[in-house]
Structure 1
Amino acid sequence: MTRRKIEIKKIQSEDYRKVTFSKRRAGLIKKAKFLCSESNTQIAIVSYSLSGRLFTFGHPSVDSVVDQFLDNHTTDSCGSSSNESPHVSTHGPSPPSKGVVDGKEGRPSWWALPVEDMDLDMDELRQYKASLETLKSNVASRLKEMEERASLTRDFVGFLDAH
């Protein structure tokens, strides 16, 4: 028996859509568990049913995978709007300072370096200031997302307890 390709289109029957969602969600989670065990990967799956019910799966947990993704995404998009690197280059090697250390190479992160040691001209200082403001904005939006997620989780748990 061979598998046939299913045309991608909206399923008209609401009952059939619910059954299909349940089966596909279960199959997707089964495949995700297999991938996690075979290749030591981290996976997060977030899906909503037609009624708006939230279903999640995560290895090791949804929160840890999402946090790691957002942390990587935030540091990648932390630059100024003119395609300039947010990392300020220092002239010569700088000793590690107390503070945040970049995990990749053991160097202090660009925002943790003292400004006095940077030997920057006025344009570079403006760029550095803009990068710090972008970082502050990203941290504020990340905090807001985390607070909203915590609120949604409380609402979802309360919804489950009520039903």
Structure 2
Amino acid sequence: MEIPAIGVSTGEIIDLGLEPDGALEVPADAVTAGWFSKSPTPGELGPSVIAGHVDYRKVPGVFFRLHELPVGEQVTVHREDGTSVEFTVDRVERYPKAEFPTDEVYGNTEVPELRLITCGGAFDSSSGEYVDNVVAYATMTSVA
């Protein structure tokens, strides 16, 4: 996956599932991105979901600058079949975790879309977690 506007160039995207409590799994290190395997493959109809850390154990994460991603910028996802899918960023939003818009992020869409998810906002040292999620929404523009 490549997002030149925020300096992202990552190798393999791992598969992610759900935790026992229903929350999306997260990658085990700072620099790996993960695709929610119950979401569409990038470029297929619906919202494909890719998650990554903003930081992890004091190391900047793959999505460290996701909150800075400008509207109109490109995200390229390289698929296992050798094709690359290009998406154009429509918007980037920040949501308190307690108000995460599950239907908007994971719900059906009429075209192939992409959701990039990470943590953001203030860091709560008592819980060891960020209080918000950052979500970038993008629409497919080409497959090559």
TM tier, smaller:
under 0.3
| TM-score when normalising by structure 2 | 0.22
User: Higher helix fraction: Structure 1 or Structure 2?
Assistant: 1
Which of the pair has more CA radius of gyration? 1
- Structure with greater contact order relative to length (CA < 8 Å, sep ≥ 6): 2
User: Higher strand fraction: Structure 1 or Structure 2?
Assistant: 2
